[in-house]
Amino acid sequence: MSSKNIVLKTVVFFGSAKNVIPPWGGDARLGDRVVKWVESTLKSRQATLGDAKTTVTISHDVSIIDPLQVFGKDGALSGFTGGELRAPTFFLKPDDLPQATKDLQETIRAADAYLIVSPEYNHSIPPALSSLMGHFGGSLYKCKPSGIVTYSPGPWGGQRAAMAIQIMCHELGCLPDGVAEQRRNSRR
């Protein structure tokens, strides 16, 4: 019997740039807990495929892309552009991009799969997520599988954002999975 290990490079896009505690209290970013859960779930997850002759074990190498870091001071998309998408990377010559931007671009290009973890803002996609993913051309995302995890303190668990994110993923060239899991009003 032969065995093989495959490590999937999985990029997790965090959709929230909100970083303020609301007047009624609670977390500055509810999504921090969700992203930690997603990351630990992916890192601990292994799947085994195959038959009696060949076994393939699949695991994940996880990279988290957080808009607070990417658009923040010295972030990969700070300085020459910003959250308002002044200069998409595919409008610029590769030599004109900062090294941190090139590194982020390569992380996205090298990914085998994407997972988008996002809140619902005003029944839609958070601006930070749309800008973050939109800075990079569709060729980086082309034909790679993606999943969507949404959350909200409201009764719909971010489902309306998930529908909008799915359309955005299609337009970028990702292949979003049609299955969504909701955790409504969860305090875990």
**pLDDT digits 0-9 by tens, 79-115:** 889 888 999 999 999 999 999 999 999 999 999 999 9
pLDDT of residue 178: 58
pLDDT of residue 185: 47
Between CA 188 and CA 131 the distance in angstroms is 29
Q: State how beta strands 113-119 and 145-151 pair.
A: parallel
19-37 mean pLDDT: 90
**pLDDT digits 0-9 by tens, 147-187:** 999 998 878 788 999 999 999 999 999 988 754 454 444 44
Say what percent of the chain tops pLDDT 90: 67
Residues with Cβ within 8 Å of residue 8, at least 6 apart in sequence: 58, 59, 60, 61, 112, 113
pLDDT for 188 beyond 50: no
Residues with Cβ within 8 Å of residue 25, at least 6 apart in sequence: none
46-59 mean pLDDT: 86
Query: Which tops the pLDDT comparison, 9 or 22?
Result: 9
Considering only CA atoms, which of 68, 148, 69 is closest in space to residue 113? 148
Considering only CA atoms, which of 85, 107, 127, 114 is closest in space to residue 174? 114
Q: What's the pTM value of the predicted model, to 2 decimals?
A: 0.89
pLDDT for 135 beyond 80: yes
pLDDT for 54 beyond 90: no
pLDDT of residue 13: 98
Q: Six-digit token pair at 45?
A: 């997850």
